[in-house]
């Protein structure tokens, strides 16, 4: 009986999770796999620079982290002394940003004499699928698409993931953001381009795809093709972008999404996996969501798309990953350092 009580106490612990890998300061609380709070503060300072400035991001994390954590605890209606563990994003991400979250989490854990849980940001994006029903069945393929990554991951279990293909240069989020910048679309480029593209014709212009080996991707070629395409057309007509912005945006978006889907279709066919998930910031893209829905009907895929708030960076996904790590007794150490590059395969 006492052993049983001890087991229940361990399973029902509250875990505080902190995410600070880029420009969102976020804290969440999870209890028995259920998210009780998820506070996200997106830094506005980068807007005037048209992209994330790493030094400013870490300074803003320093300002935000205490109020964000306090808000998460208040929202979950718990006190620090009720916590069973503190989790944080150890990598990949911007070193300065990661340092703020990791130093804060480890200090808090040490002060409260709690274990720490070290979470891989990309694993967390994938495990965001377990926050709410319906959840994918193992094994599933996850197209993980963000500002820094583009990968197809074979997910065998919450703690066993294999990257089977990835970009060899730019991430697709970068391709969205850089294309938006070339078109003069204001920051944040990806979501704005998505919005403008809704009014355009996706078949009006075609941009070339670069053939890559296996399930790998490349997005630097299409970025250069877009640059030359714009330069040539602006030379002929200086108002070209202004007059065709929606069609150009829709065509770029359609080409980027088709590049993503081509490899995903192939991986699904060759590996005989029909459970398909998407994760990461670009999973918020409306055209990608629409096309995946069409693909699910054509290929008998079961497609899993997280809620918008769980696609972009948030601590709820870190909390979900921490929940699995805690169950697996995969605890971290106070002496470990953030890893700006941390592959899922390691
Ligand atoms: O996962 P995330 O929030 O941060 C990283 O870990 O990178 O992803 C951010 C990326 C940015 O490149 C952003 O432009 C892109 O996701 N993104 C979108 C959309 N929403 C966010 N790209 C295209 N369409 C969207 N609706
Ligand atoms: Zn992310």
- Closest listed ligand to the CA of 194: 1
Strands of the 14-19 sheet, one edge to the other? 34-42, 24-31, 14-19, 83-91, 116-120
% residues pLDDT > 90 (the chain): 91
On whether both 151 and 23 belong to a single domain, the answer is no
Structural contact between residues 259 and 222, judged by C-beta atoms closer than 8 angstroms: yes
Domain that holds residue 232: 135-305
On whether both 33 and 117 belong to a single domain, the answer is yes
Q: Note the pLDDT of residue 3.
A: 42
Q: Return the CATH number at 195.
A: 3.30.420.40
pLDDT score of 1 more than 90: no
Ligand 1 atom closest to 93 (CA): 6
Alpha helices, DSSP H only, in 89-238? Answer: 95-112, 121-127, 172-182, 189-197, 220-236
Residue 346 lies in a domain: no
On whether both 318 and 296 belong to a single domain, the answer is no
On whether both 164 and 73 belong to a single domain, the answer is no
Q: What is the mean pLDDT of residues 11-21?
A: 89
Residue 155 lies in a domain: yes
Q: Note the pLDDT of residue 2.
A: 43
Residue 23 lies in a domain: yes
**Total count of domains within the chain:** 2
Q: Note the pLDDT of residue 10.
A: 46
On whether both 121 and 140 belong to a single domain, the answer is no
pLDDT score of 141 more than 90: yes
Residue 342 lies in a domain: no
Q: What is the largest CA-CA distance in the chain?
A: 82
Residue 262 lies in a domain: yes
Render pLDDT for 83-120 as a digit per residue (tens, 0 to 9).
999 999 999 999 999 999 999 999 999 999 999 999 99
Find all residues with CB under 8 Å of 144, minimum gap 6, and list them.
Answer: 122, 125, 126, 150, 151, 152, 153, 278, 279, 280
Ligand 1: list residues with CB < 6 Å: 22, 146-148, 173, 176-177, 188-191, 194, 280-282, 284-285, 312-313
Which phi and psi (to 5°) does residue 60 adopt? -70, -35
Render pLDDT for 190-200 as a digit per residue (tens, 0 to 9).
999 999 999 99
**Structural tokens at position 87:** 């989790």
CA of 95 to the centre of ligand 2 (A): 14
On whether both 160 and 262 belong to a single domain, the answer is yes
On whether both 267 and 145 belong to a single domain, the answer is yes
- With cut-offs at 50, 70 and 90, classify the pLDDT of residue 12: low
Residue 336 lies in a domain: no
């Amino acid at each position: 009986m006492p052993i049983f009580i001890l087991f229940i106490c361990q399973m029902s612990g509250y875990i505080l999770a902190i995410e600070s890998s880029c420009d969102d300061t976020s804290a969440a609380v999870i209890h028995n796999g259920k998210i009780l709070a998820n506070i996200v503060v997106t830094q506005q300072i980068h807007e005037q620079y048209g992209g994330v400035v790493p030094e400013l991001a870490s300074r803003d994390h320093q300002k935000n982290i205490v109020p964000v954590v306090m808000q998460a605890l208040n929202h979950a209606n718990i006190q620090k002394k009720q916590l069973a563990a503190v989790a944080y994003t150890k990598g990949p991400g911007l070193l300065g940003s990661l340092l703020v979250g990791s130093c804060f989490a480890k200090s808090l854990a040490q002060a409260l004499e709690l274990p720490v849980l070290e979470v891989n940001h990309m694993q967390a994006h994938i495990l965001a699928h377990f926050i709410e029903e319906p959840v994918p069945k193992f094994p599933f393929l996850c197209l993980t698409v963000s500002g820094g990554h583009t990968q197809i991951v074979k997910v065998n279990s919450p703690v066993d993931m294999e990257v089977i293909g990835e970009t060899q240069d730019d991430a697709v989020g970068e391709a969205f953001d850089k294309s938006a910048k070339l078109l003069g679309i204001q920051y944040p480029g990806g979501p704005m381009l998505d919005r403008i593209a809704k009014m355009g014709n996706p078949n009006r212009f075609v941009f070339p795809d670069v053939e890559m080996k296996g399930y790998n991707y490349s997005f630097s070629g299409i970025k250069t093709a877009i640059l030359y395409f714009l330069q040539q057309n602006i030379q002929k007509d200086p108002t070209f972008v202004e007059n065709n912005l929606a069609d150009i945006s829709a065509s770029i978006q359609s080409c980027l999404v088709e590049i993503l889907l081509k490899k995903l279709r192939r991986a699904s066919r060759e590996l005989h996996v029909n459970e398909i998930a998407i994760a990461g910031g670009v999973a918020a893209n409306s055209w990608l969501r629409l096309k995946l829905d069409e693909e699910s009907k054509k290929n008998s895929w079961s497609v899993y798309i997280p809620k918008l708030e769980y696609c972009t960076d948030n601590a709820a996904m870190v909390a979900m990953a921490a929940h699995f790590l805690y169950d697996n007794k995969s605890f971290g150490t106070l002496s470990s350092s953030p890893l700006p590059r941390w592959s899922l395969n390691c």
